[in-house]
Amino acid sequence: MAEQTLPPGPAVSDSRGPQKLLVAFTPLAGSLAFPILVPLLMLKVSISAGMLAAVVIGSLWFVAMLRTSEMPSHD
């Protein structure tokens, strides 16, 4: 029996679908949440709550962007 070989190129995995969705969604989520939530909290609660939300959302967004970043491999 002849062994089948895959064509050259990057390996495609079925488990990368949700990860790719998360990678695509992370910048969108932060860029929408930040300008919507911070001013609303400043108006409805207090300026301090808005500033605290800005720091928390900004920090979480930064960490999420670092964790989901796709870097080229060095193989």
**Contact (CB, 8 A) for 41 and 53:** yes
Dihedral pair phi/psi, residue 12, rounded to 5°: -105, 130
pLDDT of residue 4: 66
Q: What is the pLDDT of residues 12-60, one digit of tens each?
A: 555 667 777 777 788 888 888 888 999 999 999 999 999 999 999 889 8
Q: What is the mean pLDDT of residues 59-75?
A: 78
pLDDT of residue 21: 79
| Token reading at 34 | 């930040």
pLDDT of residue 19: 73
pLDDT of residue 14: 53
pLDDT of residue 29: 82
